[in-house]
Amino acid sequence: MAVIETTLATEPRKPEEAGWIAAGLERALRATLPAANPDFERLHGSVRKWWVEVDEEGVPQRELGFDQSGRAIVAGPFGENFGFWTDSNMKFTVDEHQPIAAERFEAAWRAFEKR
């Protein structure tokens, strides 16, 4: 396993950018479909960097999302939350991202679990 840091999918999304039709459709879907990340979905727009643990094929196994102050605010899979990257079909190429020591990831994961 390797751990990488990425800033992919960290741009804040402004609701007005989606347009009223897309915003209405999103609200309708959220009301009828169960959330993949019920505890963290509202926080995804505040994530400024991700630490993603990936397997040999680059498939995400666990993830931590950090806010602009460097505090882990989301994790996945965690409890009833599938995760942002771990619930996607994304595959990362490890060499294209900054590596993070596995020990740092584990320490941050344990700290998140204690919250």
- Summarised one tens digit per residue, pLDDT across range 32-80 is 545 789 999 889 999 999 999 999 999 999 999 999 999 999 999 999 9
Pick from 67, 68, 62: which is nearest to 110 by CA?
62
The residue that leads in pLDDT, 27 or 63, is 63
Using pLDDT thresholds of 50, 70 and 90, give the confidence band for residue 11. confident
Domain ranges of the chain: 2-114
CA distance 1 to 95: 13
Averaged pLDDT, 84-105: 97
Residue written as token pair 């999302």: 65
Residue 68 in contact with residue 43, Cβ under 8 Å? Answer: no
Percent of the chain with pLDDT over 90: 73
> Phi/psi at 92 (nearest 5 deg)?
-95, 145
Averaged pLDDT, 12-26: 56
pLDDT at 29 exceeding the cut of 50: no
Residue 39 in contact with residue 86, Cβ under 8 Å? Answer: no
